[in-house]
Structures are given as structure tokens and as C-alpha cells.
């Protein structure tokens, strides 16, 4: 691994050549990691953003490696955006971590189960709703390098996700999305907006675990302008809302990552329809 130094987001070109990309836009492409080197580069990017930029608190091993590492990395798929023109070396500049239901059930379950009661999504009622042979997908650890937070990079990530949904027969996606900082009172406006306008229906009401439950309805309906609530949300959550996501009941304060988390549940039809029509999901782009 000629470029793989501590905390490096670089990947050897020869490593990337061993597996095809999914889609391409100029010098960027999106692909699934197929090597430990690629995963290490994604972990380095996550460290830079979560710990150095956003103020998360690293464990001693994470600080020493300068990589965001946990036990789920070994069982998840890692979606990567690669810049092939940065300083003459390919670098990971965006990533998502993907955990399919069939894989979660074979191992330690879903990551989000440490924060939320997922039982409404795991019973036969919901399985019948999403259809026989279809499964859930947990999204996590999403981040994009600061210089790449633009439509090109975000569209590449979603094109990659849409291809993954199609290949793996995903019915719904879910996961946690974050607001920066650990004081829920500072997020009273966006939390209240999400609770009053996008709450998951009662029969699918995923709730924060009782010991961690933080009420989201902090402001009464009518006491604030919903447009202000929407504007106060981070771009990622706004993007999920545009795709039709619903929000779980209760927030979770993640002190390690310096965030207030909310649960998102997202049907995939709108995603696959939007991105497959424009980008021919499942087919590589022409050079």
C-alpha cells in the first residue's frame, strides 16, 4: 500500500483498478470498497470530519490510528467517492457505510439499535409491507470532505446508493442523522419542526430508547414558522426530507460524536425512480 500512511485518505491506483466503479463524473467516481486499503482511507476521511472538524472525542486507538474505526466496519459495505486527480493520487473524498438487514441479522444487529427501538421495523407486519424478498438497509457514517460538499459529489453518492438499492432489493432505508452539538435546547426549532411535520406514523413509530429519550416537541405548534424550522436543518436532513423521509420519536444525544441524533426512515421508491431514470442505475458511465 504505497500511499497508506497514518490518517491518509489516499488509495493506490492499482488497488482501485482491481474493481470497477459504479458511476463517474469527470475525475470523480463512486464505487464500493473491495480492499482494506480503501476502507482505511474512508476511515481516515471520517476521522478528519467527525473528530477534527466536528469535535467528536476519539478513543485512544482511534486517536493513534487517526481513523474512525468500530466493530461494524468489518461487516458493512463502504460506498466511496474517489477523486483521481487530487495531488496526483486517488483519494477518498466522500463515503457512506451500508448495512443490509440480512448481514445485520447474521452478526450483531443494526448499529442504530444502541439508540432506538427498531422492533416496529423488524416484525412481520413491516416485512409484509416492504414485500417478500426485500430488506432494510441501514445508512451510517456519511461524510464528504469540505472542498467537495457540492451537487456533483452528493449526486454521485446518491447514484451509488440507488445502484446498491437496485442490486440488493432494498425496500426501506433508515439510520441516524445528526445536528451538531449536544444541547437539545439549541436545536429546539428544527427538532420541533421535524416532530410536528415529519413524524413516522404510529404503526411504524420507532422511538429512542427510554434511558436516552430526548423529547423533540420542544416548541408548541403555531409558536414558530415551519419555514424557519426547515431552514435550521443541516443540508443532509433537508435532502432526506426531499426524498420523503419520516422521523422517529425522540432524539438521542451522542456525547462521543458531539451530536444530537434523529432517526430517519426512508422508502426507496422515490430514490430509485429519481436516480435510475436520470442515470441508468446498474450501468457504468461512459469514459
List the chain pLDDT tens, one digit each, 287 residues: 444 567 799 999 999 998 999 999 999 999 999 999 999 999 999 999 999 999 999 999 999 999 999 999 999 999 999 999 878 899 999 999 999 999 999 999 999 999 999 999 998 888 888 888 899 999 999 999 999 999 999 999 999 999 999 999 999 999 999 999 999 999 999 999 999 999 999 988 999 999 999 999 999 999 999 999 999 999 999 999 999 999 999 999 999 999 999 999 999 987 877 776 544 444 344 33
Is residue 192 a contact partner of residue 229, using CB atoms and an 8 Å limit?
Answer: yes
Is residue 112 a contact partner of residue 118, using CB atoms and an 8 Å limit?
Answer: yes
204, 177, 31, 170: which is closest to 102 by C-alpha? 170
pTM (2 d.p.): 0.91
- Residues recorded for the chain: 287
pLDDT value of position 91: 97
Question: What domains appear along the chain, each with residue ranges and CATH number?
Answer: 13-279 (3.40.630.30)
pLDDT value of position 3: 45
234, 228, 232: which is closest to 261 by C-alpha? 234
d(CA 286, CA 283): 9
Is residue 181 a contact partner of residue 187, using CB atoms and an 8 Å limit?
Answer: yes
For cell 443540508, the residue is 235
Amino acid at each position: 500500500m504505497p500511499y497508506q500512511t497514518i490518517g491518509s485518505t489516499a488509495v493506490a491506483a492499482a488497488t482501485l483498478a482491481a474493481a470497477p466503479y459504479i458511476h463517474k463524473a469527470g475525475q470523480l467516481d463512486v464505487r464500493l470498497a473491495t480492499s482494506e486499503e480503501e476502507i482505511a482511507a474512508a476511515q481516515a476521511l471520517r476521522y478528519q470530519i467527525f473528530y477534527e472538524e466536528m469535535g467528536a472525542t476519539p478513543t485512544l486507538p482511534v486517536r493513534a490510528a487517526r481513523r474512525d474505526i468500530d466493530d461494524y466496519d468489518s461487516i458493512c459495505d463502504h460506498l466511496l467517492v474517489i477523486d483521481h486527480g487530487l495531488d496526483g493520487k486517488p483519494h477518498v473524498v466522500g463515503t457512506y457505510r451500508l448495512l443490509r438487514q440480512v448481514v445485520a441479522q447474521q452478526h450483531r444487529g443494526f448499529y442504530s439499535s444502541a439508540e432506538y427501538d427498531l422492533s416496529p421495523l423488524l416484525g412481520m407486519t413491516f416485512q409484509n409491507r416492504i414485500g417478500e424478498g426485500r430488506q432494510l438497509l441501514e445508512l451510517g457514517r456519511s461524510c464528504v470532505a469540505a472542498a467537495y460538499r457540492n451537487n456533483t459529489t452528493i449526486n454521485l453518492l446518491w447514484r451509488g446508493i440507488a445502484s446498491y438499492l437496485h442490486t440488493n432489493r432494498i425496500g426501506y432505508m433508515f439510520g441516524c442523522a445528526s445536528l451538531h452539538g449536544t444541547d437539545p435546547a439549541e436545536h429546539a426549532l428544527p427538532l420541533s419542526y421535524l416532530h410536528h411535520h415529519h413524524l413516522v406514523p404510529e404503526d411504524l413509530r420507532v422511538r429512542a430508547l427510554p434511558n436516552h429519550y430526548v423529547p423533540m416537541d420542544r416548541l408548541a405548534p403555531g409558536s414558530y414558522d415551519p419555514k424557519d424550522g426547515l431552514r435550521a436543518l443541516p443540508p443532509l436532513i433537508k435532502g432526506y426530507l426531499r426524498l420523503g423521509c419520516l422521523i422517529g420519536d425522540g432524539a438521542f444525544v451522542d456525547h462521543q460524536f458531539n451530536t444530537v441524533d434523529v432517526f430517519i426512515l426512508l422508502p426507496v421508491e422515490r430514490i430509485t425512480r429519481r436516480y435510475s431514470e436520470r442515470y441508468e442505475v446498474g450501468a457504468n458511465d461512459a469514459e
